[in-house]
Structure 1
Amino acid sequence: MAMDPALYGRRRERFMAELGSAAAVIPAAPLATHHADCEWPFRQNSDFFYLTGFDEPDAVALLLPHRPEGERFVLFVHPKDPAAEVWTGFRWGTEGAVERFGADIAYPLDQLQGRLTEFLDGADAIAFRVGRHPQVEPLVLQTWGRQLDRASRSGSAALGLVAPCPILHRLRLCKEPHELDRMREACRLSAEAHELARSITEPGMNEAQIQSAIEAHFRSSGARGPAYGSIVAGGDNACVLHYTANSAELRDGDLLLIDAGCSISDYYNGDITRTFPINGHFTAEQRDLYSLVLSAQQAAIDAVRPGGTAEEVHLTALTVLVDGLIELGLLSGDSEGVIERGDYRHLYMHRTGHWLGLDVHDVGAYRLGEKPANLTEGMVLTVEPGLYVSDRLAVPEGQPAIDDRWKGIGIRIEDDVAVVNGGCEVMTAAAQKSLAAMERP
């Protein structure tokens, strides 16, 4: 997809408007070593990418609302270097940073130390995320220290370091129309992969074969690849929430849980979980638990609306799950008491969703002080209740022992849901999940 410099320019303007007269230093991600001198494929820092669209390592962006027009967006980047590009690929360099990405000024990265002081002088504060950027942080602290040393003579210095994250993450939490369109694309490709996986699954296959088919679809469809480590978990493996070995044989009579989504060219992500019988037919116990999780998910999705909260979404799903588990005999007592005591947590031990965007577990507050944050148009969250029946966690005192016929059943159903005017949009609806769709004729 063609990069639109104006889109990133509008984001920078909104960010700088909230910065006031603070100066922001936003570093890109570095390359990360995999082993020896081999590096992982590069993944840009999401905050940096949100503001710049620039997808090269080690760069540093300065956002300077205290400076005059024409000096407010400065990029320090690796310069053009044919000898280096032979080994590691194309670089935009300083000219590209200005012409393609809209920087007012661009310099080679090795000039950052010498020029940082001049650009930060006059700012009331320095907005920088400490503890995350070990190559850049000493330069920022040295610059600030020099300002403080000469403050008695110059009469001015930045008053302190502030975190840019609260502003940036509030902006990122509510997606623009363009972002929602890109997320729909990520969800579409992710849903296609899930439909493909279900269509090819047979007893005797290996989890790795299914993972390979899913991730090949991501790549062949133009995505960067998986948004996170794909989970392909047959039978009892599904009761391990972050199972990623993906190496076991798929057994006749078990369920297969697949939690997988793709990341597209500009880093927006899909995140879908589906669970279905490997042989195409639920057992009675599998059907009961699947129907319960599906009912909990639908009730939770119905609770996604402007003015609601993520907490309400979770409690809606949790209440349906607990009521159903009591009815099935897997829990006992009154629903309210079970929830208050947490007596369900050996069967359902995670929250019902998370924000989704440039990061899979995307940024943004769930609470504002003592109050849950209200859902507003443009927010995107996952809705993913589940049940995991195994011997891994002790049954709480007073709750019934688990009969063997239930053990080894792990079920999660997850969709990506956007908050829209009047309600919500299930962006991953193309991935089927009804009981009928999960079984074969």
Structure 2
Amino acid sequence: MPINYAQRRQQFLDALEGQAAVIPAAALMQHHADVEFPFRQDSDFWYLTGFDEPGAVALFLPHRPGNSFVLFVPAKDPTAEVWHGFRWGTEGAVAEFGADVAHPLEQLEALLPDYLQGAEGICFRVGRHPDLEKLVLRCWSNQLDRASRTGEAMRQLTAPCPILHAMRLRKDAGELDRLRQACRISAEAHERVRALVQPGQNEAEVRANLEQHFLACGSRGFAYPSIVAGGDNACILHYTANNAPLNDGDLLLIDAGCSVSDYYNGDITRTFPINGRFSPEQRDLYSLVLAAQEAAIAKVSPGSTAEAVHETAVRVLVEGLLELGLLRGSVDAVIEQDAYRHLYMHRTGHWLGLDVHDVGAYRLGEHPVSLETGMVLTVEPGLYISDRLPVPEGQPAIEERWKGIGIRIEDDVAVVDGGAEVLTAAALKSVEAMER
């Protein structure tokens, strides 16, 4: 199902209520010397335009019916295209991307004041695009200077984030199709590498196999730097060195997902024994994390909250850790005192979409945001048994037999009518599936 960018733009224009919005594309970022990082479009700009070139600027002008969507884009330039690739130019911006009007980017400074004239305010995110910010603020300042003569002025300068991020939080059918695609490719990669892992390999080999599959399936590549963490490395939540040998008897935690052509992402974590068999301690902890994740996923439904998902996972983990002797006290007291946080220190999930940690509020003031059909979140409880963090007062010292075990199980879950759809279900996770 195609993405309807025109429908998104109209929804955004309606929400602006007379303000003019200035939404810039991402710029190229220098890696070293004269080499740039691979280009990644700004998610808000992409969401409204589908235009994948750096440096462009989109204007949304509800006060100008008929010319409400204006794009400033890099001009066609045969010499530049020989060196850096194809550009759509102004004609392509209109014909292929639906702009009412398009101009070469170098005309932005001259034309921006006229386009903003008559708007009730400016909607622009300050602090991220200093050169463009100077132009926008100059336009606003000039409007304020004229107010004493004309009696009219832009009332405010606001950020577009609240409008756009509320829109992006609720995925439509086309977006869910893209997320399913990203999750399918990501799940296939996890299944593929688990079958290939053997003691004595290096984490880097596993990463290479993962990311080769992402690319072979036509994705852009990894959605975020892959985490391939053997043994105690799995107790480092954002471990990305990926260069250690895989030892017989250890677990391997893989947190990896791909990004498809229009930037929607998969985000999966699986943990399994490198030699194909859990030790008793590994099996106990893995079974506990899996039970917590299954209970948390069962809480995903319209009307629930991401907070309820997290609280459910925490309660199951604490109950199990008390039974295993890794915690001491009552369930409620341990949770109230955060006395489990040396073993489980992160939230159980995040929104997923164009960004891996996608935009959207989790709370509105004192109230958690209710889950609605079309929202997508990860569910990823874990346990990390190490001596990196101090054991809270009153809690038992960690026995050596538990140390160095890091486990996380993560799935991507869409809120659907009546419950949840696990988009990453093709990546197996039962105890039996993790052994061979």
Q: TM-score with structure 1 length normalisation?
A: 0.98
Q: 2:413 aligns with which of 404, 413, 417?
A: 417
- The answer (yes or no) to whether the contact 1:306–1:374 under 8 Å persists in 2 is yes
1:277 and 2:273 matched: yes
2:187 aligned partner: 191
SS of the counterpart of 1:339? Answer: helix
Residue 391 of structure 1 aligns with an amino acid whose one-letter code is D
2:7 aligned partner: 10
Q: Distance in 2 between matches of 1:240 and 1:183?
A: 27
SS of the counterpart of 1:15? Answer: helix
1:294 aligned partner: 290
1:181 aligned partner: 177
Q: Distance in 2 between matches of 1:83 and 1:167?
A: 39
Q: Deviations over 1:191-226 (max 9, x none)?
A: 000001101000000000000000000001100000
SS of the counterpart of 2:131? Answer: coil
Residue 277 of structure 1 aligns with an amino acid whose one-letter code is P
1:303 aligned partner: 299
1:19 and 2:16 matched: yes
Mapping of residues 240-259 of structure 1, within 5 Å: 240-259=236-255
1:67 aligned partner: 64
Q: Deviations over 1:290-323 (max 9, x none)?
A: 0000000000000000000000000000000000
Q: Deviations over 1:406-437 (max 9, x none)?
A: 00000000000000000000000000000000
Q: Deviations over 1:385-421 (max 9, x none)?
A: 0000001000000000000000000000000000000
1:136 and 2:132 matched: yes
2:233 aligned partner: 237
Q: Distance in 2 between matches of 1:156 and 1:359?
A: 39
- Percent identity, please: 70
SS of the counterpart of 1:388? Answer: strand
SS of the counterpart of 1:182? Answer: helix
Residue 422 of structure 2 aligns with an amino acid whose one-letter code is V
1:376 aligned partner: 372
Mapping of residues 33-432 of structure 1, within 5 Å: 33-69=30-66, 71-432=67-428
Q: Distance in 2 between matches of 1:317 and 1:97?
A: 47
- The answer (yes or no) to whether the contact 1:74–1:105 under 8 Å persists in 2 is yes
Residue 119 of structure 1 aligns with an amino acid whose one-letter code is Y
Q: Distance in 2 between matches of 1:238 and 1:187?
A: 22
Residue 101 of structure 1 aligns with an amino acid whose one-letter code is F
- The answer (yes or no) to whether the contact 1:26–1:61 under 8 Å persists in 2 is yes
Q: Distance in 2 between matches of 1:128 and 1:336?
A: 45
- The answer (yes or no) to whether the contact 1:285–1:405 under 8 Å persists in 2 is yes
Deviation at 1:68, TM superposition (A): 2.1
Query: Which is further off, 88-97 or 130-139?
Result: 130-139
2:26 aligned partner: 29
Q: Distance in 2 between matches of 1:218 and 1:47?
A: 24
Q: Distance in 2 between matches of 1:273 and 1:240?
A: 14
Q: Distance in 1 between matches of 2:417 and 2:39?
A: 37
Q: Distance in 2 between matches of 1:135 and 1:56?
A: 18
Segments of 5+ residues of structure 2 without an aligned counterpart are none
- The answer (yes or no) to whether the contact 1:74–1:103 under 8 Å persists in 2 is yes
Query: Which is further off, 315-324 or 134-143?
Result: 134-143
Q: Distance in 1 between matches of 2:189 and 2:284?
A: 26
Deviation at 1:37, TM superposition (A): 1.1
Count residues in correspondence.
436
Q: Distance in 2 between matches of 1:68 and 1:19?
A: 13
Q: Distance in 2 between matches of 1:223 and 1:210?
A: 18
- The answer (yes or no) to whether the contact 1:121–1:157 under 8 Å persists in 2 is no
Segments of 5+ residues of structure 1 without an aligned counterpart are none
Q: Distance in 1 between matches of 2:128 and 2:433?
A: 45
Deviation at 1:174, TM superposition (A): 0.3
Residue 382 of structure 1 aligns with an amino acid whose one-letter code is T
Query: Which is further off, 158-167 or 285-294?
Result: 158-167
Q: Deviations over 1:329-361 (max 9, x none)?
A: 000000111011010000000000000000000
SS of the counterpart of 1:179? Answer: helix
Deviation at 1:282, TM superposition (A): 0.1
Deviation at 1:139, TM superposition (A): 0.6
Q: Deviations over 1:236-287 (max 9, x none)?
A: 0000000000000000000000000000000000000000000000000000
Query: Which is further off, 127-136 or 207-216?
Result: 127-136
SS of the counterpart of 1:84? Answer: helix
SS of the counterpart of 2:134? Answer: helix
Residue 105 of structure 2 aligns with an amino acid whose one-letter code is L
Q: Distance in 2 between matches of 1:26 and 1:277?
A: 47
Residue 71 of structure 2 aligns with an amino acid whose one-letter code is L
Deviation at 1:154, TM superposition (A): 2.2
SS of the counterpart of 1:136? Answer: helix
SS of the counterpart of 2:253? Answer: strand
